[in-house]
Chains A and B, each alone.
Chain A
Amino acid sequence: MKAILRGFGALVLATCAWIPCAHLFFNPRTADDDTATIKALRTKVAANDLSDFSRMRRDNPEWDLMGRLYLGLTLANRAMAQTGSDEGRAEAARDVAALDVLLADTESELSRGGQGTFMLPYKDARPWVSTEGRSVFVDGEVLLLQSARALAAHEPPAESAKVRAAAITRAMKDSPTLSAESYPDEAWTFCNTTGLAALAAFDTASAEAGVPRGAEIAREHDALAASWVSVAKVRLTDPETGLLITSYTRDGRVLQGPEGSSLFMVAHSLRFVDDALARDQYARTKAALIHDVAGFAYAEEWPEVASIGGRPALVRADIDSGPIVPIFHASAGASGLSILSAHAFGDHVTASALERSLSFVGFPDRDGEGRATRYLAGNPLGDALVVYARSFGPLLLRVSAYKATDWKDT
Chain B
Amino acid sequence: MIKVGIVATLAEVACVVLVHSSHRAAVAVVSGQAVAGGLAGNASPLLGWLVVAAQMASVLVLPPVILGCILHVVANRPFQRRRAVR
Contacts and interface: CB of A to CB of B under 8 A. Distances in A.
Q: Is the interface of A mostly helix, strand, loop or mixed?
A: helix
Interface residues of A, number: 37
Contact of A10 (B34, B39, B45, B71): B71
B67 A17 contact: yes
Contacts of B75: 6, 10
B72 to A, nearest CB: 4
B44 interface: no
Interface residues of B, number: 38
B68 A379 contact: no
Contacts of A381: 32
B33 A6 contact: no
Contact of A382 (B32, B37, B52, B72): B32
A134 B74 CA distance: 71
A55 B31 CA distance: 14
Interface in A371-386: 375-382
Contact of A22 (B37, B39, B42, B60): B60
A56 B33 contact: yes
A365 interface: yes
B26 to A, nearest CB: 9
B17 interface: no
A404 interface: no
21 contacts: A6-B75, A10-B72, A10-B75, A12-B68, A15-B64, A18-B64, A58-B33, A59-B33, A59-B37, A319-B36, A323-B30, A323-B45, A360-B55, A363-B19, A363-B23, A363-B27, A363-B55, A376-B31, A377-B52, A379-B32, A380-B32
